[in-house]
Structure 1
Amino acid sequence: MGFPGVWMTESESMIYRVVPKCACSTIGQIMYYSDHGRFFDGDIHDATHGLHKWAFADSQDRISKTVREHTSYSFTCVRNPYTRILSSFFDKICGIQRNGSRYRGNLVPTLIYNYGIEVGGDDGKGEFDQIASFRRFLLFARDTIRWRRPMDPDIHWSAMSGHVSTFIVNGGRYDRIFWTEKFNDGMQGVLDALETPHPVTLSEIPRFNESEGHGPKRAHPVEDYFDDLSMHLVYEIYKQDFELFRYDFENPANKMPVGEIDLDEIHAKLGD
């Protein structure tokens, strides 16, 4: 299986396991800048040079060797499951993507037909009942994850623990896992632990939110989207994410972690 979703700087200073919807655009740009002294011109997900990515065949041997010998600092970043699934809905379901089309072709028409959701019209900018449509999307997300119907789960709403675990199962070990909600502290901890060809001053790094503007703005506080049933569905899907990454299941309004991440526990529980 190897190391899907893994990016590594060309200098091999650091290795990052991408977790979708968890500041991956900003982290990728920081990695690129740390090697080249400039940002990639465009969405870092589209970069075909300047970073090693597992998706590139000629990067795989080098990534595998570096991960298994643990000669680079290895890290990832996670996010509150409530805000992450909401972000996936507004970006991937309601939004128009970079190529000017809907995400995954016929996915949205299928959701409209089978689950009765609305997405704000052809351009994603129209008025619609965001709460009702999101809750219907949540049923769809649960169906894909629990029963792999009507499709396999998408990387943007499959559990973070699943993404994090592939790195461990195949022979990697994380030096740090930090929260999107405390990004500066977490990313600074990574940078403090290594040397890069070009120094990175985190306070001067912009946030690269490549999904911003794809879809409608969230019209309500996070907690308004989650009634008792929605919370039950979220817990069914993301129970391990809440527990391992120390997020508050009981209160959707609290996006902040409520405890410290235990790396030994994560390696033990996700390494089977």
Structure 2
Amino acid sequence: MGFPGTWMTESESVMYRVVPKCACSSIGQIMYYSDHGVFFDGDIHDSKDKLHKWAQEDSQPLIEANAKAHKSYAFTCVRNPYTRILSSFFDKICGIQRNGKRYRGNLVPLLIQKYGIEVGSPEDGFEFDQIKSFRRFLLFARDTIRWKRPMDPDIHWSAMSGHVSTFIMNGGTYDNIFFTEKFNDGMQSVLDAIETPHRVDLNTIPRFNESEGHGPKRLHPVEDYFDDMSMHLMFEIYKRDFKLFKYDFENPANKMPLGDVDLAEVHAKLGE
């Protein structure tokens, strides 16, 4: 299995387990900058060198040796499950991707056909009933996660605990898990704990939100998208995420965590 989704600076100053839709573009660019003093020109997910990634074959032995020996400070970042799934919907389902096409080719036509989802288009200004369509998408996301039908779950809406756990299961140890909602504080706590070839000033670093601008804007407050049935589905899919990462299941309007992540609990529960 190894360490899928794991990135490490070339200097081996720090190691990061990517969790999709949780500030991963910003974190990757900060890691890249901390080694090279410049940002990657483009989406950091497209970089092929100057940042070790498990997806790059040459990087795998280095990442594996480092993670198993816990040589570098290791961290990840999590996000409120309500806002994360909404972000996935607007970016991946409704949005036009960087290549000018719909995400995963036939995925959106499948959703329109099987679940009656509408997504709008740039031509009509993305006009559609966002709440109705999102709730139908949530049913689809549940079906993929629970029964792997009509397809396997996608990394952008599969549970965060699943992503976080692979690092632990294969011999890694986290030193820090922080919140997207408190990004500067969390990222600063990582930078304070490591030494990097180039100093990073978080106050001057741009936000690299690669999904922004590809699709419709969210028109309603978060809580409007989640009725009683939607919340039931959310708990069915993301119960572990809410509990382990201390997010407020009862109140979708509260995006902030209720407490700090208990690293010992995460390692115990996700290492089983």
TM range (shorter): over 0.9
Gap runs ≥5 in structure 2? none
* C-alpha RMSD over aligned residues: 0.8
Q: How does 1:58-137 map to 2 (within 5 A)?
A: 58-121=58-121, 125-137=125-137
The aligned residue for residue 198 of structure 1 is 198
Matched, 1:186 2:173: no
The aligned residue for residue 37 of structure 2 is 37
* Contact kept in structure 2, 1:80 and 1:247, CA below 8 Å: yes
Q: Which whole-Å deviations, capped at 9, do the CAs of 1:145-184 have from their partners, x for residues lacking one?
A: 0000000000000000000000000000000000000001
Q: Which whole-Å deviations, capped at 9, do the CAs of 1:123-150 have from their partners, x for residues lacking one?
A: 5832100000000000000000000000
The aligned residue for residue 144 of structure 1 is 144
The aligned residue for residue 170 of structure 1 is 170
Runs of 4+, deviation exceeding 6 Å: none
Distance 1:164 1:116 in 2: 33
Distance 2:105 2:53 in 1: 25
Secondary structure in structure 1 of the residue aligned to 2:153: coil
Gap runs ≥5 in structure 1? none
User: For residue 188 of structure 1, what is the amino acid of its counterpart?
Assistant: Q
* Contact kept in structure 2, 1:124 and 1:215, CA below 8 Å: no
Q: Which whole-Å deviations, capped at 9, do the CAs of 1:205-263 have from their partners, x for residues lacking one?
A: 11000000111000000000000000000010000000000000000000000012100
The aligned residue for residue 25 of structure 1 is 25
Percent identity, aligned pairs only, is 79
User: For residue 254 of structure 1, what is the amino acid of its counterpart?
Assistant: N
Secondary structure in structure 1 of the residue aligned to 2:27: helix
TM-score, with length taken from structure 1: 0.99
* Contact kept in structure 1, 2:126 and 2:215, CA below 8 Å: no
* Contact kept in structure 2, 1:124 and 1:216, CA below 8 Å: no
Distance 1:214 1:123, change over 3 A: farther
How many residue pairs match? The answer is 272
* Contact kept in structure 1, 2:138 and 2:233, CA below 8 Å: yes
CA drift of 1:122 comes to 6.0
The aligned residue for residue 210 of structure 1 is 210
User: For residue 5 of structure 1, what is the amino acid of its counterpart?
Assistant: G
Distance 1:210 1:188 in 2: 21
The aligned residue for residue 259 of structure 1 is 259
User: For residue 56 of structure 2, what is the amino acid of its counterpart?
Assistant: F
Matched, 1:48 2:10: no
Distance 2:113 2:127 in 1: 19
Secondary structure in structure 2 of the residue aligned to 1:149: coil
